[in-house]
A and B are shown apart, each in its own frame.
Chain A
Amino acid sequence: MNTRYERQMILPEVGDTGQEKLRNSKVLVIGAGGLGAPVLQYLAAAGVGHIGICDHDKVDLSNLHRQILFTSKDLGQSKAYVAKKFLNQLNEDCQVSSFEFRINYKNIEEVMSNYDLVIDCTDNFQSKFLIHDACFLFKKKLVQGSIYQFEGQIQCFDFNHSDSSPCLRCLWPEVPTPGCVSNCQEAGVLGIVSGVFGSLQCNEAIKMILEMEVLDQGSTLTLNLKNLSQRIIKWKKSKDCPLCSLGPSIRKISESHKLTEFEVLEKKGHFTEVDLREDPSFDAKEADPNKEYLFFCQRGIRSLHFVKELRELGLKNTYSLFGGVDGK
């Protein structure tokens, strides 16, 4: 018995066969942040043969309280690259690939193509729905996780085997509006909370690989780490689902965001640009009616709210950059 994996191979659920399944499995982790950190470490430690890491972001000092793959020495470096180096040192049995860019509707098919199971550790609805839809269309297994302060949810899908089970679009046909609830940056999060939910996600993923029982498809596990209350809530398959019904409106991966009439996809020359990250103040009374103003921020959420307010004040010459600086 391979000493490295001895303690898990003793388990009747693992054994030689299970370890071989882990070695042959191909897992893609999208998002190497708070959830991704424990997921990546436990996948590699367990001997998962092929691991992909996709993240466009760079290590920031404010990440370190929860993203425990990174140290103070890694500041400013690509998260996917640093994570790959970490996993290479942890376990040389694993083949690790890094994708140092943001997942989007153009690249997702290619990024996913070499993997069977996807673990969604992203932090926004656009990415979560994009990954979910792609997993459905390309018949992948998917483990989703998301957190809010002391609470979180996980969901599991096996789109390779489960035509009769619900998908996430049966419950949420439309992508929830960005900014309708806050992310970690705005709402705050204790590092260990992402650690617990990432570990739960990885536990489900490893059980999927071992073909053990996992959380039912069409169920959300919710867990509140303040009072440890836990609940499993089920939803039903919808015959009107835009993705998994008999007459779906989503048949391929495409730019799904419906732009509001005052959002634009790119900066164009005629706009007067206003960077809300540097200076969040803008005096509506001083605005020149002959100019067209383009507001932008990190993600396009704050700028969209800002422009909505200006529009309500009657400033029709104001626009928001969709996706913000990050989305470009």
Chain B
Amino acid sequence: MYKKVKIEYFAVLREQAKINSEELETSSADARELLSELTSKYNFSLNESTLKVAINEEYCEFTTKLNEGDRVVFIPPVAGG
């Protein structure tokens, strides 16, 4: 089943996707599937073990199901100072 989600990219992912955010019709059931869909699109250098995902302003597991209208943010760790 397709649903529309809003995705935002942070730090190195923003650099690699070359966009701040996008709306996407996706059949991905959870955050894990969505990340793999986006990784094949943008060739992200980071994977699930080095990233966090937040849905609607809360960090969550990659197994969290996606719902229509969710706002999904992928966040790599940041260390610059």
Chain A residues near B (Cβ < 8 Å): 31, 33-36, 121-125, 128, 145-149, 151-153, 171-172, 176-177, 180-184, 187, 189, 194, 220, 222, 224, 226-227, 229, 231-236
Tell me whether A180 and B80 are in contact in the complex, defined as CB-CB below 8 angstroms, given that A151-B14, A233-B59, A234-B58 are known contacts. Answer: no
| Among all A-B residue pairs, the 3 with the closest Cβ atoms | A123-B81, A235-B59, A148-B11
Residue in B closest to A183 when the chains form the complex, CB atoms: B80
Tell me whether A232 and B58 are in contact in the complex, defined as CB-CB below 8 angstroms, given that A35-B81, A189-B80 are known contacts. Answer: no
Those of B31-81 within 8 Å (CB) of chain A = 46, 50, 52, 54, 57-59, 73, 75-81
Number of interface residues of B (CB under 8 A): 22
Residue in B closest to A185 when the chains form the complex, CB atoms: B80
Q: Which residues from chain A contact B12 at a C-beta distance below 8 Å?
A: 148, 181-182, 187
Q: Assess the A31–B81 pair: CB atoms within 8 A.
A: yes
Q: Which residues from chain B contact A176 at a C-beta distance below 8 Å?
A: 50, 77, 79
Residue in B closest to A121 when the chains form the complex, CB atoms: B81
In-complex Cβ contact of A231 among B50, B52, B57 (8 A) = B57
Q: Assess the B81–A181 pair: CB atoms within 8 A.
A: no
B27 at the A interface (CB under 8 A): no
Q: Which residues from chain A contact B58 at a C-beta distance below 8 Å?
A: 233-236
For the A-B complex with A148-B12, A233-B75, A235-B58 known, give 6 more contacts whose Cβ atoms are closer than 8 Å. A148-B78, A180-B46, A181-B50, A184-B81, A226-B20, A233-B73
Q: Which residues from chain A contact B15 at a C-beta distance below 8 Å?
A: 149
Q: B75 to nearest A CB, angstroms?
A: 7
Q: Which residues from chain B contact A145 at a C-beta distance below 8 Å?
A: 81
Q: Which residues from chain B contact A152 at a C-beta distance below 8 Å?
A: 78, 80
Chain B residues near A (Cβ < 8 Å): 8, 10-12, 14-15, 20, 46, 50, 52, 54, 57-59, 73, 75-81
In-complex Cβ contact of A124 among B8, B20, B57, B79 (8 A) = B79
Q: Which residues from chain B contact A124 at a C-beta distance below 8 Å?
A: 79
Give complex CA distance A232, B56 in Å: 10
Give complex CA distance A231, B11 in Å: 14
In-complex Cβ contact of B20 among A33, A220, A227 (8 A) = A227
Residue in A closest to B59 when the chains form the complex, CB atoms: A235
Residue in A closest to B77 when the chains form the complex, CB atoms: A176
Q: Assess the B79–A232 pair: CB atoms within 8 A.
A: no
Residue in B closest to A147 when the chains form the complex, CB atoms: B80
The residue in A35, A36, A224 that gathers the most chain B C-beta atoms within 10 A of its C-beta is A224
Q: Assess the B81–A194 pair: CB atoms within 8 A.
A: yes
Q: Assess the A224–B81 pair: CB atoms within 8 A.
A: no
Tell me whether A233 and B54 are in contact in the complex, defined as CB-CB below 8 angstroms, given that A151-B11, A151-B14, A181-B11 are known contacts. Answer: yes
Q: Assess the B50–A177 pair: CB atoms within 8 A.
A: yes
Tell me whether A123 and B10 are in contact in the complex, defined as CB-CB below 8 angstroms, given that A149-B15, A177-B50 are known contacts. Answer: no
Q: Assess the A146–B79 pair: CB atoms within 8 A.
A: yes
Q: B73 to nearest A CB, angstroms?
A: 7
Q: B58 to nearest A CB, angstroms?
A: 5
Q: Which residues from chain B contact A153 at a C-beta distance below 8 Å?
A: 78
Tell me whether A181 and B20 are in contact in the complex, defined as CB-CB below 8 angstroms, given that A149-B15, A235-B59 are known contacts. Answer: no
